[in-house]
C-alpha cells in the first residue's frame, strides 16, 4: 500500500523538473539537434527540460504509442491487433465452448417466454405489414423478423400469452432464437479482441472472454426472442472499433486507410446500437467523451496545424455524427416501407400520418363548409378520434344519448351543421334546397346527428366519469317534431392557425381539413372537449366527451375531415390531407416514442432500481411451467467481482490523488499511467451506461444493466492484469484459472434457471444466496428422479366444465403475478359484437405465470369481486377537489355505528341470516325469570352435579 508520507530527498521527481540529461539520451533527443549540429561540446549542455509523457506522445511521431500510453508487445510477437497462430487457436477453442454454452437446448422452453409476447408479436405484424407502435427503434425487431422470415414464419401466430405452445402451430421459434444467440456468441471473441487491443496480456484476454461466456444473465437473454442481445452485441462492437481507432490515432497513423476504416465502422456501429434501443445513446456519449479528449489533446499539439486540426474535426463529425444519424434514419425508412398497411398503431399518429397507410386513405372532399353540410368532425389532440354518437343512453346523469370520441370511421360520425340564429323557426329546414351559405367565425350553430336525429346538447349536469363542477355532460337530445332549445346552441370560434397549407380564408370561415375551431356553448360558456379518459364498458370504452369551462387549448380544438353538400357543384374546390414527407413522419414517430417511453411509470412485480443492479439484488421471473422455470439472474461471481473491481479502482484512484498532494507522482510512473488510462476508459463506459438510469422514473429491470456490466467485466480484467503483472506467466494463468473455476461452478449451479432444467426444491433453496432472490422453489420437484417419470402437460387450451381451462391443472396465479414489460402502444382487442366498440390507447393484458403448483378447484372463491371500472381522471380534471375525492388513503372511512346498508357503509358485504355483521352493535333484550322458573333451573343444576 503506498504511503502518504512525504518523499525523501532525491526521491520521485516531477517529470517536468529540470535535471541533468543522461548521456544515453544526448544523441537521440530532438532538443539537442541544433546544439550538436553547431559543434558545441555535449558537456556544455548540462540541463534540458524533460517533457511530460502526454506532451512527448503528442510531439513525437517517431515513437509509436499504444491506447493506454506505453506500448506493450503481444505474446505472439505481432503488431497491434494482429494475432499469432497460438492466439487464433485459443480463440477458436473459446468459441467452441461458447457455442455449446449458448446453443445448449435452445429449443427449451417450447412456449412463449416473457417479452417474446411483444417482440414475437412485432415480427408477426411486420410479416403482415400492419402498422404498430413500440417505444424502441426498429433495427432489432427487423432482425427478429428477418430470422422469422428465413424460418418460414407465416405470421399466423400471435404470441399473445406467456406459455402459449410453439410446437403445435409450427412456429420457427428456434430460428428466431438462433440469431440473438449467435450475436451473444459473437460477444465472446469481441471481448477477447478488445482486451488484446487494450494491450492487456493474453491470459487476461482469455479470462475476460470466458467470464462473458459463462455469465448466466447474458446467456438467458441471448437464448430468447428479446432485444438485449442485439443491444449488448452492438455495444461491444462499437467499443472494439473505437479502441482500434484510438490505438491507430495515438500511434500517429491519422488519415491512413486503416484509420478511416475503424473510424467509419465506429460510426456505423453507433448507428446500429442506437437503432436497437435508445440506451445506445449512452454508448454515443462514451465515444463523444473520448472524441472530445482527442480533439483537446490535438489542440495542444503544436505540430498539428490549424488545417490538420480542421481535418481531424471534420472526419470525426462525418463518421461519428453524420454516419450514425443516417443509419438510424435508414432503419426507419425500412420500417415505414415494411409497415405500409393500416394496423392497431394508427391511433397514436396524426391524421396526416394515418392517411399514408393503405386502407386508411380517403377520397378528395369539398373544401367549403356551409349550413346544411354533412360533416365528420375530428379531435385535434389525443388520438384524433371522431365526434360520435350512438343509440345508447348514459346509465346515470341525464340518461340521454351518449356522445363519445371514436377512433374509426363509422356512419355514426356524420353530423349536419345548421344555423341556429333563428331559434323560433321550424324544427327543420330543407337545407339541400336552400342557397349555399358559408359558416363564419362567431356564428351560432347546431349539430344534428344524421343517424339518430338527436342534436348535440349540453346542460348543467355532471359527466359520467369526470364528475367535477367545471365539466358538463354532453349528450344527444331531441325527438321528432321538436325544434330544440337553447342548450343545443354552440358558437364557432375559428383558430388563427390553419392545418396543412396556409389558407387565409380558413381563418375566417370553416374549410374542410384547413380550419381548426372550438365550439363554445352559448348558455354556459363551456367548450366542447375531450381527453384521454375512457368510458366504462357501458360506453364501449370509447373516449369521453364533455363541455369544459376551463379547458386546455389543444383538447378543445376540432377540425372537419369530410364534407358534403347538395348545393356544391361537382367541380367545386376539393381538398385532402397533405401527404407528410419521410422526415415529418420520422420526427413525429420519434416524438410519440419519447413521450410514451417517459410515461411507462407503472410498477411491475419484478422491476428494480439501479442501486440494486451491481449487487445482483434480484432477478426477473421469465417463465414457469411443468415444474421448470426460467429466471433471469446473473452469475454472482462475475457480477460481484466486477463490482469489487469498480470499488477497488475508485479507492486506489482517490488514494493516488491524496498522495499527489503530499508530493508523490504515482500517476507519472509509466506502468501505473498505462493501467490508469485503460481503467479510466472502462470506468467511463460503465458510468455512462449505468448512472443515467438514476434520473429515470420509468419501469426499470435488471437487464438494463447489461451494457454497463460489459464494461465492468473489462475493468475487472484490467485490474486483474495489473495485480498479476509482476507474476510469472504460468502463475498468472493459474490465478486466472482459479477465478474461472469459480465462475464456471457458479454458472453450473444456477444453470437450471438459465436453461429451464431440472432442479430439486432442496437445491433451489440452497441456491438462494440472497433473501431477495425470489425464484419460486415450490415449483420444482422434491427430487431429480421425479422428472424422469413426469409427462409434460400439453399447453393447448382444454375446455373444462368449470370454465377455467387447462391452466388450472398446472398454474396457480400468485398475488403479485409478474407481467412482461408494459408496451404502451399495444392496443387491446375491441369487443367483436359491437360495431362502435374501440379501446382508446394501449392495454397490456398479458399475465405471467409464476407458479405451477396445482390448487384444488374448491379453494377458488366464487364470490363476485366488485371492480371499479372508472377511468382515471384526465389532466384537465385534476383540480384538488377531484384528486382528493378520488384518492383513497386506506383505512376505515365511516363511523363505528354506520349502517351497513347506508351509502357510506360496507356496500356489498354479505350478511347471513341470523348473524350480525362484523363491527355492528347487537342489543340483546334482557329476559327475567319468575320464581318458579328459578327453582326449576336450580334443580337441573343440582341433578347435573350429582351425575
CATH 2.80.10.50 maps onto the chain at 363-576
The per-residue pLDDT for range 374-394, each reduced to its tens digit, is 999 999 888 778 999 999 999
Residue with the larger pLDDT of the pair 803 and 336: 336
Instruction: Report d(CA 542, CA 388) in Å as an integer.
Output: 10
Helix (H, G, I), strand (E, B) or coil at 833: coil
Residue with the larger pLDDT of the pair 6 and 501: 501
DSSP of 599-651, one letter per residue?
T-----TT---GGGTTTT---EEEEEETTEEEEE---HHHHHHHHHHHHHHHH
Chain centroid offset of residue 361 CA: 31
Arithmetic mean of pLDDT, 784-813: 46
pLDDT at residue number 434: 79
> In this structure, what are the phi and psi dihedrals at residue 558, rounded to the nearest 5 degrees?
-135, 160
pLDDT band at 422 (very low <50, low <70, confident <90, very high): low
Of 229-233, 516-520, 747-751, 788-792, the poorest mean pLDDT is in: 788-792
Q: Is 865 exposed, middle or buried (0-12, 13-18, 19+ CB in 10 A)?
A: exposed
- Residue 508: DSSP 8-state: T
pLDDT band at 436 (very low <50, low <70, confident <90, very high): confident
Of 10-24, 409-423, 424-438, the poorest mean pLDDT is in: 10-24
Arithmetic mean of pLDDT, 456-460: 92
Which parts of 151-252 fold into alpha helices (H)?
A: 173-197, 202-213, 216-222, 228-250
Arithmetic mean of pLDDT, 310-318: 96
Residue 43 clears pLDDT 60, i.e. is over it: no
Nearest partner of 573 among 503, 517, 492, 497, judged by Cα: 503
Arithmetic mean of pLDDT, 932-937: 67
What average pLDDT does the structure give for the chain?
79
Return the C-alpha torsion angle 766, 771, 772, 773, nearest 10.
0
pLDDT at residue number 834: 43
pLDDT at residue number 677: 94
pLDDT at residue number 853: 41
Residue 891 clears pLDDT 50, i.e. is over it: no
- Residue 786: DSSP 8-state: G
Residue 919 clears pLDDT 50, i.e. is over it: no
Arithmetic mean of pLDDT, 283-296: 95
pLDDT band at 870 (very low <50, low <70, confident <90, very high): very low
Residue 580 clears pLDDT 80, i.e. is over it: yes
Residue 533 clears pLDDT 50, i.e. is over it: yes
pLDDT at residue number 790: 52
β-pairing, 490-494 vs 517-521, is antiparallel
Q: How many CB atoms lie within 10 A of CB 874?
A: 23
pLDDT at residue number 305: 92
pLDDT band at 397 (very low <50, low <70, confident <90, very high): confident
Contact predicate 602/822, CB 8 Å: yes
Residue with the larger pLDDT of the pair 260 and 863: 260
Helix (H, G, I), strand (E, B) or coil at 555: helix
Arithmetic mean of pLDDT, 21-34: 34
Contact predicate 98/747, CB 8 Å: no
Residue 1 clears pLDDT 90, i.e. is over it: no
pLDDT at residue number 748: 94
The per-residue pLDDT for range 48-91, each reduced to its tens digit, is 334 444 444 444 433 334 444 444 444 333 345 578 899 999 99
pLDDT at residue number 943: 66
| pTM, rounded to two decimals | 0.74
Quote the cell numbers at residue 855. 390448487
pLDDT at residue number 862: 42
Instruction: Report d(CA 936, CA 932) in Å as an integer.
Output: 6
What would you measure as the largest C-alpha separation in the chain, in angstroms? Answer: 147
| Cis bond upstream, residue 590 (ω within 30) | no
Residue 610 clears pLDDT 70, i.e. is over it: yes
Residue 824 clears pLDDT 60, i.e. is over it: no
pLDDT at residue number 889: 38
pLDDT at residue number 428: 64
Residue 571 clears pLDDT 50, i.e. is over it: yes
DSSP of 674-710, one letter per residue?
HHHHHHHHHHHHHHHHHGGGGG--S---GGGGHHHHH
Q: Is 565 exposed, middle or buried (0-12, 13-18, 19+ CB in 10 A)?
A: buried
pLDDT band at 865 (very low <50, low <70, confident <90, very high): very low
Residue 502 clears pLDDT 50, i.e. is over it: yes
pLDDT at residue number 194: 96
Quote the cell numbers at residue 170. 409450427
pLDDT at residue number 230: 96
pLDDT at residue number 375: 93
Contact predicate 420/492, CB 8 Å: no
Instruction: Report d(CA 67, CA 61) in Å as an integer.
Output: 14
pLDDT band at 781 (very low <50, low <70, confident <90, very high): confident
The per-residue pLDDT for range 199-238, each reduced to its tens digit, is 999 999 999 999 999 999 999 999 999 999 999 999 999 9
The per-residue pLDDT for range 545-557, each reduced to its tens digit, is 999 998 999 899 9
The per-residue pLDDT for range 679-731, each reduced to its tens digit, is 999 999 999 999 999 998 888 999 999 999 999 999 999 999 999 999 998 99
pLDDT at residue number 635: 95
pLDDT at residue number 338: 95
Pick the CATH number of 363-576 from 2.80.10.50, 3.30.70.360, 1.10.730.10, 3.20.110.10: 2.80.10.50
Amino acid at each position: 500500500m503506498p504511503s502518504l508520507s512525504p518523499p525523501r530527498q532525491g526521491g520521485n521527481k516531477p517529470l517536468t523538473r529540470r535535471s541533468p540529461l543522461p548521456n544515453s539520451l544526448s544523441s537521440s533527443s530532438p532538443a539537442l539537434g541544433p546544439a550538436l549540429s553547431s559543434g558545441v561540446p555535449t558537456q556544455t549542455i548540462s540541463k534540458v527540460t524533460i517533457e511530460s509523457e502526454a506532451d512527448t506522445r503528442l510531439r513525437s511521431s517517431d515513437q509509436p504509442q499504444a491506447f493506454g500510453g506505453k506500448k506493450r508487445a503481444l505474446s505472439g510477437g505481432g503488431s497491434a491487433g494482429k494475432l499469432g497462430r497460438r492466439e487464433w487457436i485459443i480463440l477458436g477453442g473459446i468459441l467452441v465452448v461458447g457455442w455449446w454454452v449458448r446453443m445448449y437446448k435452445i429449443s427449451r422452453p417450447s412456449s412463449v417466454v416473457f417479452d417474446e409476447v411483444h417482440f414475437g408479436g412485432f415480427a408477426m405484424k411486420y410479416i403482415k405489414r400492419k402498422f404498430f407502435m413500440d417505444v424502441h427503434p426498429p433495427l432489432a425487431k427487423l432482425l427478429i423478423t428477418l430470422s422469422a422470415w428465413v424460418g418460414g414464419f407465416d405470421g399466423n401466430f400471435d404470441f399473445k400469452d406467456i406459455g402459449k405452445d410453439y410446437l403445435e402451430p409450427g412456429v420457427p421459434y428456434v430460428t428466431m432464437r438462433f440469431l440473438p444467440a449467435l450475436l451473444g456468441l459473437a460477444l465472446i471473441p469481441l471481448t477477447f479482441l478488445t482486451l488484446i487491443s487494450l494491450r492487456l496480456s493474453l491470459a487476461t484476454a482469455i479470462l475476460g472472454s470466458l467470464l462473458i461466456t459463462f455469465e448466466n444473465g447474458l446467456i438467458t437473454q441471448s437464448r430468447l426472442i428479446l432485444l438485449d442481445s442485439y443491444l449488448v452485441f452492438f455495444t461491444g462492437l462499437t467499443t472494439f472499433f473505437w479502441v482500434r481507432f484510438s490505438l491507430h490515432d495515438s500511434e500517429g497513423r491519422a488519415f491512413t486507410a486503416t484509420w478511416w476504416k475503424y473510424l467509419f465502422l465506429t460510426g456505423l456501429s453507433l448507428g446500429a446500437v442506437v437503432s436497437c434501443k435508445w440506451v445506445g445513446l449512452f454508448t454515443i456519449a462514451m465515444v463523444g467523451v473520448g472524441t472530445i479528449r482527442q480533439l483537446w489533446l490535438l489542440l495542444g499539439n503544436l505540430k498539428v496545424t490549424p488545417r490538420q486540426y480542421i481535418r481531424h474535426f471534420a472526419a470525426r463529425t462525418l463518421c461519428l455524427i453524420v454516419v450514425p444519424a443516417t443509419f438510424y434514419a435508414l432503419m426507419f425508412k425500412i420500417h415505414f416501407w415494411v409497415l405500409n398497411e393500416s394496423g392497431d398503431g394508427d391511433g397514436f399518429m396524426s391524421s396526416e400520418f394515418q392517411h399514408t397507410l393503405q386502407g386508411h386513405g380517403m377520397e378528395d372532399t369539398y373544401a367549403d363548409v356551409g349550413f346544411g353540410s354533412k360533416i365528420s368532425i375530428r379531435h385535434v389532440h389525443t388520438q384524433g378520434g371522431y365526434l360520435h354518437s350512438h343509440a345508447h343512453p348514459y346509465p346515470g346523469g341525464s340518461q340521454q344519448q351518449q356522445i363519445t370520441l371514436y377512433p374509426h370511421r363509422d356512419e355514426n360520425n356524420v353530423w349536419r351543421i345548421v344555423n341556429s340564429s333563428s331559434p323560433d323557426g321550424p324544427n327543420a329546414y330543407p337545407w339541400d334546397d336552400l342557397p349555399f351559405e358559408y359558416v363564419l367565425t362567431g356564428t351560432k350553430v347546431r349539430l344534428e346527428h344524421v343517424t339518430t336525429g338527436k342534436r348535440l346538447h349540453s346542460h348543467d349536469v355532471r359527466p359520467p366519469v369526470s364528475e367535477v363542477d367545471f365539466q358538463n355532460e354532453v349528450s344527444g337530445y331531441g325527438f321528432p317534431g321538436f325544434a330544440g332549445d337553447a342548450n343545443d346552441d354552440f358558437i364557432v370560434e375559428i383558430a388563427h392557425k390553419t392545418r396543412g397549407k396556409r389558407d387565409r380564408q380558413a381563418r375566417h370561415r370553416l374549410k374542410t381539413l384547413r380550419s381548426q375551431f372550438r365550439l363554445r356553448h352559448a348558455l354556459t360558456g363551456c367548450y366542447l372537449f375531450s381527453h384521454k379518459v375512457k368510458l366504462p364498458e357501458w360506453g364501449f370504452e370509447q373516449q369521453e366527451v364533455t363541455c369544459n369551462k376551463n379547458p386546455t387549448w389543444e383538447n378543445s380544438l376540432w377540425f372537419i375531415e369530410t364534407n358534403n353538400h347538395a348545393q356544391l357543384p361537382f367541380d367545386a374546390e376539393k381538398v385532402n390531407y397533405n401527404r407528410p414527407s419521410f422526415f415529418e413522419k420520422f420526427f413525429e414517430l420519434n416524438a410519440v416514442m419519447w413521450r410514451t417511453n417517459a410515461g411507462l411509470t407503472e410498477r411491475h412485480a419484478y422491476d428494480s432500481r439501479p442501486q440494486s443492479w451491481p449487487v445482483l439484488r434480484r432477478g426477473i421471473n421469465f417463465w414457469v411451467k411443468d415444474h421448470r422455470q426460467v429466471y433471469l439472474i446473473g452469475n454472482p461471481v462475475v457480477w460481484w467481482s466486477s463490482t469489487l473491481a469498480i470499488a477497488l479502482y475508485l479507492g486506489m484512484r482517490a488514494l493516488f490523488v491524496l498522495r499527489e498532494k503530499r508530493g508523490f507522482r504515482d500517476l507519472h510512473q509509466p506502468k501505473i499511467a498505462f493501467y490508469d488510462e485503460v481503467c479510466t476508459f472502462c470506468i467511463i463506459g460503465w458510468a455512462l451506461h449505468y448512472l443515467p438510469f438514476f434520473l429515470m422514473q420509468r419501469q426499470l429491470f435488471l437487464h438494463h444493466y447489461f451494457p454497463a456490466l460489459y464494461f465492468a467485466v473489462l475493468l475487472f480484467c484490467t485490474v486483474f492484469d495489473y495485480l498479476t503483472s509482476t507474476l510469472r506467466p504460468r502463475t498468472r494463468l493459474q490465478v486466472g484459472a482459479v477465478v474461472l473455476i469459480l465462475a464456471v461452478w457458479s454458472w453450473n449451479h444456477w444453470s437450471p434457471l438459465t436453461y429451464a432444467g431440472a432442479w430439486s426444491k432442496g437445491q433451489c433453496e440452497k441456491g438462494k444466496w440472497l433473501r431477495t432472490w425470489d425464484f419460486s422453489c415450490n415449483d420444482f420437484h422434491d427430487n431429480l428422479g421425479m422428472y424422469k417419470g413426469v409427462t409434460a402437460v400439453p399447453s393447448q387450451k382444454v375446455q373444462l366444465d368449470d370454465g377455467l381451462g387447462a391452466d388450472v391443472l398446472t398454474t396457480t396465479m400468485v398475488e403479485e403475478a409478474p407481467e412482461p414489460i408494459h408496451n404502451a402502444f399495444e392496443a387491446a382487442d375491441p369487443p367483436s359484437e359491437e360495431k362502435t366498440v374501440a379501446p382508446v390507447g394501449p392495454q397490456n393484458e398479458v399475465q405471467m405465470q409464476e407458479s405451477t403448483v396445482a390448487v384444488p378447484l374448491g379453494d377458488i372463491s366464487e364470490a363476485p369481486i366488485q371492480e371499479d371500472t372508472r377511468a382515471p381522471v384526465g389532466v384537465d380534471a385534476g383540480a384538488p377537489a377531484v384528486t382528493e375525492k378520488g384518492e383513497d388513503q386506506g383505512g376505515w372511512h365511516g363511523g363505528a355505528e354506520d349502517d351497513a346498508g347506508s351509502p357510506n357503509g360496507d356496500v356489498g358485504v354479505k350478511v347471513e341470516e341470523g348473524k350480525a355483521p362484523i363491527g355492528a352493535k347487537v342489543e340483546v333484550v334482557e329476559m327475567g325469570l319468575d320464581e318458579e322458573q328459578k327453582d326449576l333451573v336450580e334443580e337441573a343444576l343440582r341433578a347435573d352435579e350429582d351425575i
